[in-house]
Structure formats: structure tokens, C-alpha cells
Amino acid sequence: MAEHANKNVPGTEIEVLSPEKVQKRDRMRQLLEAHFQDSVLYKLYEKKGRLHELFTANILDMDEFGEYSSKEAAAICEVVDYTINNRRSALVDYVDPKYRQMNSKNWKHDYVSVFKLKMIIGLTGQNGDYSLRQIKAMLYGDLEETTEIPQTEVMHQMFAQMKKYFEDTQDMFERNEQLLLDSPISDLQEKVEVLENQLAEQMEEREKIEKANQELMLVKEKCNEIYDLINDPQSTVLEKQELIQRYDTLVESYPDHRDLIMNYHTYAVNKVSALKELSDKELKHQAKELHNKVMNESIPVEQRNRAMDELEKLFNDHPDHQEKLYHLLYDAKTKQRLSRQEPAPEKPKGIFARLFGR
């Protein structure tokens, strides 16, 4: 038996663990570390030295193949049910619960989804350093169904910058007004030049800020355009994969916004990978059904020939899957070719059968 205690919590009682439980917890920790080693949120915990907050006993005791309800996920994360529902609703694409039926009470979460919720909860809320909106931006650039920044928000940002500019300018003149009045005439020109230089520097800084904001909005617009094309249900998985490469081109064009672009890139890769996995399964299932029809001699020839034509069309329409479908097509064609061979001649009958059948 092994003794285990949470060293980060003073006064924690020592928990006696069986070798099997120690091994199970080590296995879960290895799975989570391998899965989240490139995660933006996980790296935040790692950078701040807070990984111990994630790998609690409840987390490490999760079942690798288990599915947890919202209430069970709340117990694992040591929060109330509402917190789980709130964080999942705000970041449902990232949390990626297994499935749902009629309402939130029937959401199911695997160990990966629960760990994602654990990370989000620790970074947000009353004791967190980030808002849900900031978490969204870190994950995928605030990507939602409608990804454009509301026009009212843009206007508020512009007015705030203009207001600060005029306040700074007014403050500068007020601070220097008396100095100008009290100065001899010979010094006025020099002091005016100093003020003009200060004003020019402020103007230049404002222009830089405005230019940076415009560039940021342009980058987000370009990222959203690529994502919309990737999200088009009419495009193939192969076309979607080629579109992802456009994010690399954007990084080269806008290196200052690399983090934002790569968040989009990561989100798109995950999206396409999930679609590809689903597409592969559906396509393979469809090909197997057609193959089985061709091979089934109890089915009329017309239906078997039609199934053969559909299998060939499926093969030709999906060049990126041909390697996986080739053996099914080859097997079906071989069966069809053998089925079309002429039947063997009948054996002789009567006296010829007695003479030549020996």
C-alpha cells in the first residue's frame, strides 16, 4: 500500500492507496499530460506553477472510458452544477461533451471534457484572472457563429481613444501654461518647440494604435473568411485540409498577430480532424455494404451489378480514400468477373455416360 497526501494543502490527511489505485492515477495523469501538452490553457497553469490545482484526487480517479453527467462533473471539479452548465454553455465547442438528449441534464462528458471544464473554472470566476471572453480569444480568437466584432464596440473603442487623446493634450497644456506665461520672451520659442514635439509624439503614438487596431480587425476578418470556407458543408475533407494551409500564409504576412492566427489554425485543425474521422467511418461503412451486396449470390444479378457500379463511383469520387477502398473494390470486381464466366459443359447421359464416365 502507498501513502499519498496533497503537499500543497497544509493539514491534509494522509490517504493510503493500494498499488492498483496508484497505478490508475498515474495512468490518468499521463493521459491528461499527453493530451493537453500543447493546450493554451494548460500552458497557462504550467507557466504560473498551478498544475497541482488541476491534478486533484477527483480528477486522477476519473475512468478513462467513463462518461459523466453534469452533476458528476460538478462533483469532480468541486463546484456547483450551475458552474458546469455555465462554462460548458459558453465554450461548448471547446469542451466538446459526448452527446445530449433533450436538455443540459443529459449532457455526457468524458475525462477530457471534464478536465477542460476544470481548467476553465480555475481561470475564470471570482478567483480567476480571466473572463470567459478572454478564454475564448485565447482558444480560437473569439470564434463563434458570428465572429465579427460588433460595430458598437468598435465605436466605443475609438471614442475612448479620442477622449484620452484630448484629455492628455489638455493636461499637457495646463501643466505648461503657467510656465509659458512666466518665461522670458527669449525662452518662449524654445518651450513652444518642446510642446510641439511632445504633441507630435502623441499624434504619432495615436496613429500607431489606430493602425494596429485596423490591422487586428483585418487579420480577424481574413481568419474568419478561411474558417467559413472550411466550415462549408459542400467542401471535401481534402479541400478543407488545403484551406488550413492559408493560415500559415497569414502568419508570414502578419507575424505580429501570430498567436491569434495560430489559435484559429488549431481550432480549424481540430474541426477538420473530427470531420475526417466521421467521414472515414461513414464512407467505409457505405463501401462495405455495397461490397457485401456484390458478394451475395442470393441477390438478383441486376442489384449486384448496380451495387458494383455504385462502389466504383464511390471509389472514383473520393481520391483521398482510394487506398483504403481499393481492396474492397478489387475483391468485388474479382467476384463479378468469376460470376460472369460460362458454366461448365454438362456430363454425357445414357450409354455415353456409362462408356465415358469411367
Pick the closest to residue 248 from 235, 275, 228, 266 (CA basis). Answer: 266
- Residue ending a domain, among 110, 140, 170, is 140
Measured over the CA atoms of residue 244, residue 249, residue 255 and residue 257, the dihedral's sign is negative
In a domain, 65, yes or no: yes
Element (H, E) at 16: strand 15-17
Identify the residue whose cell numbers are 473494390: 329
- Mean pLDDT computed over 40-49: 91
- Residue ending a domain, among 140, 173, 207, is 140
- Residue ending a domain, among 140, 172, 197, is 140
In a domain, 77, yes or no: yes
Domain that holds residue 120: 2-140
What percent of the chain shows pLDDT beyond 90?
17
In a domain, 250, yes or no: no
Cell numbers for 233, please give them.
458543408
In a domain, 100, yes or no: yes
In a domain, 237, yes or no: no
Q: Is the pLDDT of residue 76 over 90?
A: yes
In a domain, 167, yes or no: no
75 pLDDT band, cuts 50/70/90, is very high
CA distance linking residue 74 with residue 70, whole number of Å: 6
Q: What is the number of domains present in the chain?
A: 2
Cell numbers for 322, please give them.
482510394
In a domain, 121, yes or no: yes
**Tally of CB atoms within 10 A around 191:** 13
119 pLDDT band, cuts 50/70/90, is very high
CB contact set of 56 (below 8 Å; sequence gap of 6+): 6, 78
In a domain, 96, yes or no: yes
